[in-house]
Amino acid sequence: MPAKQSRKPLAGDDPSDYDQPSVTVDLVLLTVREGQLHVLLIRREAKPFAGRWALPGGFVRIEESLTAAVRRVLREKARLTGIFIEQLYTFGAVKRDPRTRVITVAYYALVSEGQLIRAIGQSADLARMPVHVAWQGEAGGQAEVRGPGGKPVRLAFDHKEILGMAVKRLRGKLDYSPVGFELLPETFTLRQLQQVHEAILDVKLNKPAFRRRMLDKGVLQATGRRETGVTYRPAELYRFVDAAGSNNREEN
Amino acid sequence: MPAKQSRKPLAGDDPSDYDQPSVTVDLVLLTVREGQLHVLLIRREAKPFAGRWALPGGFVRIEESLTAAVRRVLREKARLTGIFIEQLYTFGAVKRDPRTRVITVAYYALVSEGQLIRAIGQSADLARMPVHVAWQGEAGGQAEVRGPGGKPVRLAFDHKEILGMAVKRLRGKLDYSPVGFELLPETFTLRQLQQVHEAILDVKLNKPAFRRRMLDKGVLQATGRRETGVTYRPAELYRFVDAAGSNNREEN
DNA sequence: GCAATAGTGTCTTTCAGACACTATATC
DNA sequence: GATATAGTGTCTGAAAGACACTATTGC
């Protein structure tokens, strides 16, 4: 029972009457590379779990909103700004951090492959690793991360659970929200978009049906330009145009 | 800048290096009555917002998980146990509580009309009020609560926003998850189930299509009994049977 | 022309909406 | 029998899956 932050243990409706849990944010930064989901991980230096791979995160400061804390973590640890983030879930099991009571508000962020590669740069403490989340069965909903040698990587804290939830959330939102576009560069081909969907959902999709569905949504704008550097017929490049409904409050 | 909880202002990766925000849980308890969604509200006695109606809530204690805190609030304020709860969203805007920095983890709970009536009992500080959330337009996604006289009620803090998000979440989950059954008693008719769906979605649904969809899911068990006390042909009573996939971890 | 992928036309299947019909309870 | 709602049969239309076909690029 860590009681190092003791204050008066009185009952009541005032925040300072009780010991308070600490609050952190943790970030699941995802991208799609070669048809597979990848996550950004950081190697922990300090205890607990020193040496283990973990999701980037940090404490929420007293005059900092949750999204501001996430953006600060993103800036400090991965030198990334202006990317898509969304709140995932808040994890508050009493023993999830062996030190003291820590409640973490998890967010997920989506970037294109190129952005993630630039973010990692030469750092030895940052890595992108492939993630696989089974739909059901023995490992139903459990995230599996594989390291360079292809062998499973154990994450710090409850980060495996957080990662699994992020992938499941992404799967759920893919159909009815434009999250898929956040994983691609500014312009992209329909084939790339389909590969992103296939990587997230872990299924093969029907080409004509996929094209119809996407084009019928009315959020894709043909650029008139085509991809370059391919040896076959180059595909049209599209751009995502938000269908007026950009309800980003962004103050939490 | 409330600095009443000052500790050493050092930098670092230790939770006690900074002032920490307080953490509360807030609860959106919903039911359907007479074809309309209703929410449980509690009249605040203390400042801030004394006298205003608010969502029930309370501080999270140091050795209490988030769900444990919600269940305690539910027990202490509405004498309800064993009901469906699910985490909604975490609200952490810096100024959302005028006293100090308070981050709240919002949950929603679903009960049948009878359970809510029993919960309120004779208390004058508890009330159930109808909620309406427009799909779009001027008031898109904004929750509107009406009091006894039919006039709009202003809620404390950012609770209007929390309530709006709860209704939208419920709408989103209604189709692919069994949340609708949580708003009905143990046994119910298909007509009641349809009315619940219509109240949440705020649309009229097609009867044959609704019946087919529900029965095809395979989670409804006919009891062989029929409703009583009606002057017309009584409908079959059904029971919800969980289709094996009850993944309730419940430790956050 | 060959290889490889882009992009399309169309048939089939599935399922929701609409509507009308039959069934069965109370009075 | 009148009334009111329960419950069903069937037509239609929208959209996804399957499959084959045409189009266009580099070499």
pLDDT digits (tens, 9 = 90+) for A12-46: 455 555 678 999 999 999 999 999 999 999 999 99
| Rg of chain A on CA atoms, in Å | 20
Tell me the nt nearest to B234, Cα to C1'. C25
Question: What 8-state DSSP symbol labels residue B117?
Answer: H
Whether the CB of A208 is less than 7 Å away from nucleic strand D comes out as yes
Asked if B219 contacts B246 with a C-beta cutoff of 8 angstroms, the reply is no
B49 vs B97: CA distance, rounded Å: 10
Q: Model confidence over A141-193: pLDDT tens digits?
A: 789 999 988 899 999 999 999 999 999 999 999 999 999 999 999 999 999 99
A143 vs A163: CA distance, rounded Å: 6
Contact A15 B59 (CB under 8 A): yes
Q: Higher confidence at residue B8 or residue B176?
A: B176
Per-residue pLDDT band for A1 (boundaries 50, 70, 90) equals very low
Query: What average pLDDT does this structure show over A101-122?
Result: 96
Q: What pTM, to 2 d.p., does this model score?
A: 0.91
Q: Which CATH architecture has domain A179-251?
A: Orthogonal Bundle (1.10)
pLDDT value at B6 more than 70: no
The pLDDT, as a whole number, for residue B10 is 35
Query: Chain A residues contacting B, CB < 8 Å?
Result: 1-5, 7, 13, 15-24, 46, 58-66, 87, 89-94, 99-103, 105, 140-141, 247, 251-252
Look over chain B and give the mean of its residue pLDDT values, rounded to a whole number. 90
Per-residue pLDDT band for A9 (boundaries 50, 70, 90) equals very low
The pLDDT, as a whole number, for residue B244 is 63
Burial-class residue A181 by CB neighbours within 10 Å (0-12, 13-18, 19+): buried
**Among A65, A202, A181, A83, which residue's Cα sits nearest to residue A131?**
A202
Look over chain A and give the mean of its residue pLDDT values, rounded to a whole number. 90
DSSP string, A58-123: EEPPTT--HHHHHHHHHHHHH---S-EEEEEEEE--TTSSSSS-EEEEEEEEE--HHHHHHHHTT-
The pLDDT, as a whole number, for residue A47 is 87
List all residues 6 or more positions away from A178 whose beta carbon is below 8 Å from its beta carbon.
A219, A240, A242
Residue ranges of domains in chain A: 20-173, 179-251
The pLDDT, as a whole number, for residue B141 is 75
Query: What average pLDDT does this structure show over A91-96?
Result: 97
CA angle B105–B111–B115, rounded 5-degree value: 125
Give the three-class secondary structure for B224: strand
CA angle B145–B194–B199, rounded 5-degree value: 10
Contact B92 A20 (CB under 8 A): no
Which residue in B4, B60, B252 has the most chain A C-beta atoms within 10 A of its own C-beta, making it the best mutation to test that interface?
Answer: B252
The pLDDT, as a whole number, for residue B220 is 96
Asked if B28 contacts B55 with a C-beta cutoff of 8 angstroms, the reply is yes
The pLDDT, as a whole number, for residue B66 is 98
Half-sphere exposure of A97 (CA within 13 A, CB side): 21
Contact B21 A62 (CB under 8 A): yes
DSSP string, A131-176: EEE-SSSTTTT-EEEB-TTS-B-PBSTTHHHHHHHHHHHHHHHHTT
The pLDDT, as a whole number, for residue A4 is 40
The pLDDT, as a whole number, for residue A7 is 38
**Among A174, A191, A181, which residue's Cα sits nearest to residue A237?**
A191
The pLDDT, as a whole number, for residue A10 is 35
Does the N-terminal peptide bond of residue B48 adopt cis geometry, omega within 30 degrees of 0?
A: yes
Asked if A190 contacts A238 with a C-beta cutoff of 8 angstroms, the reply is yes
CA angle B167–A23–A120, rounded 5-degree value: 100
In chain A, how many H helices and how many E strands? 5, 11
Strands B57-59 and A57-59: unpaired
Q: Model confidence over B62-112: pLDDT tens digits?
A: 999 999 999 999 999 999 999 999 999 999 999 999 999 999 999 999 999
Asked if B217 contacts B242 with a C-beta cutoff of 8 angstroms, the reply is no
The pLDDT, as a whole number, for residue B19 is 78
Whether the CB of B234 is less than 7 Å away from nucleic strand D comes out as yes
Q: Higher confidence at residue A64 or residue B11?
A: A64
Q: What is the dihedral of CA A111, A113, A118, A122, to 10 degrees?
A: 120
Q: For domain B20-173, give the CATH number.
A: 3.90.79.10
pLDDT value at A105 more than 60: yes
B37 φ, ψ to 5°?
A: -70, 140
